[in-house]
Structure 1
């Protein structure tokens, strides 16, 4: 029974994606007039046309740079914050933890205007730096929540033994804690990378310069005020989906291992 449910769920998820790929090889009359019919001619040229006319290469580079730098910043700051919160007892410890995780309950739309004003006053509008700052700030709450709960499962005896051997906080963090939380770091990195990759609202708010756009916003160049180049839009959607799909296939085994490791620790 469970296999039947999985097959049905897979069909529900994959069918729309395969339909987009199918339509991306049609021309506009075929897409709008007979979307379900088999195309007489497969318009392979839709893909190079979408790549060249939509400046997709630049959008992909921008998105990869923003996502990678964001993930690096989040892992660095959130792991240090989680280490202090989870491994040391001090007055205000729980309050500090609540301060970080409170960001999970704050919809981005509520603080969109203050974010825009802040970025504008910093003269960072239309820059990739603005996206990295906002993405990293928004992702730290989730990351601290995951890492704190993971670090709390590490026996304190390990830390006490390291202290007796003369290890300081940074050495404990680098040589003991980080190696033990690699599964959690992997999960955080994957989710934060995908979150930065697919984010639409903030890039639309902060970036209007085509040279600094990311793929979710840049792909809208095919949508005009009076007409839409559907064949190029669909081909572009397939192209921008390939990097994340290929990346996930490459790390799928490690991702499953991290999930299992995280479940065992929890």
Structure 2
């Protein structure tokens, strides 16, 4: 009787959860699909009748947006900044998380809380000190300034994720490596990093997406239009007296594709980690 009474409740909960997820997916996807729909219309069609079907599919909006908006240059800048940020975050945060998670020392937990506290600090609060610091370092207006700030901003989340993964590694593995004569860096490279590879993948994808879509910091720190990232570069279609909406929407679709792919990769990686954890249990 208990089994028969529990199963309907579980089915009902599953139906409700799936219905909520479907509703959320519709809420998220409809605006995205609407942007894609408007991006293949003319400016007259967008302004006069945005919901009406276009007379034809204007795929030339994408080629004009690519060439006229110089998206190629902006994409190269963004890929460089995002790639360098991911590499720097993985290196620095994995080393910090390794020390915090695998070694006991006075102030260990305080150091961990110091990193985690950065999650609650909006970047806008320290915008003025960052601007002054980059100017004093002679990096204001350059892409390395973005890489430094993105790396510092991303370490809080990365250390938080990696510390929890590294703490789940059995201590016997580290002790066995020490018995075999391995030093701290050898244990870090040959034992710890391979075991937290899924977490490193999640961190890399999240940091790449964050660096890709960031708008405020490039607008603050980059002054040369040719060095802008895509999030700010698309504003070239916004004029003082008129906006090329069809090109702006096409450009937004182009620059959004990497973040969509990254979100799908994160979802796939999280699902794989959950399934592997369920199998181990």
Please indicate the TM-score interval, normalised by the length of the shorter structure: over 0.9
1:51 counterpart residue number: 66
Question: Could you tell me which residue of structure 2 aligns to residue 157 of structure 1?
Answer: 172
Distance 1:3 1:46 in 2: 37
Q: Does 1:108 align with 2:99?
A: no
Q: Which moved more, 1:218-227 or 1:93-102?
A: 93-102
- How many Å apart are 1:91 and its aligned residue? 1.4
TM-score, normalised via structure 1 length: 0.94
Question: Is 1:135 equivalent to 2:179 in the alignment?
Answer: no
Q: Is residue 225 from structure 1 mapped to residue 240 from structure 2 by the alignment? A: yes
Q: Distance in 2 between matches of 1:105 and 1:237?
A: 29
Distance in 1 separating the partners of 2:105 and 2:265: 42
For 2:149 and 2:168, the matched residues in 1 are separated by 30
The 5 A counterparts of 1:24-103 are: 24-103=39-118
Residue 113 of structure 1: CA displacement? Answer: 0.2
Q: Give the 3 Å change call, closer, same or farther, for CA 147–251 of structure 1 in structure 2.
A: closer
Q: Distance in 2 between matches of 1:96 and 1:247?
A: 30
Deviation of the 1:134 alpha carbon: 0.4
Runs (5+) with no aligned partner, structure 2? 1-14
Question: Which sits farther off after the overlay, 151-160 or 3-12?
Answer: 3-12
Q: Secondary structure at the match of 2:104?
A: coil
1:55-108 deviation line (CA, Å, top 9, x unaligned): 111111111111111001000000001101110111121122122222112111
**Stretch deviating more after TM superposition (121-130 or 245-254):** 245-254
In the alignment, structure 1 segments of 5+ residues that lack a partner are none
Cα separation, partners in 2 of 1:98 and 1:251, compared to 1, 3 Å: closer
> What is the aligned length?
266
State the alpha-carbon separation in 1 of the partners of residues 263 and 163 from structure 2: 26
- More off after superposition, 168-177 vs 154-163: 154-163
- Tell me by how many angstroms 1:253 deviates: 3.8
Q: Please give the per-residue CA displacement for 1:18-37, whole angstroms capped at 9, x wherever unaligned.
A: 11111011111110110000
Match of 1:39, SS? coil
Mapped to 2, the partners of 1:63 and 1:256 lie a distance apart of 28
Alpha-carbon RMSD: 2.0
Return the index of the structure with the highest Cα Rg. 2
Q: Does 1:122 align with 2:158?
A: no
State the 1:263 CA deviation: 8.0
Q: Does 1:235 align with 2:259?
A: no
SS at structure 2 position matched to 1:109:
helix
1:153 and 1:265 in contact (8 A); partners too = no
Q: 2:230 aligns with which of 204, 207, 215?
A: 215
Q: TM-score, normalised by structure 2?
A: 0.89
Q: For the Cα contact (< 8 Å) 1:82–1:151, is it kept in 2?
A: yes
C-alpha separation in 2, matches of 1:89 and 1:75: 22
**Cα distance, 1:144 vs. partner?**
0.7
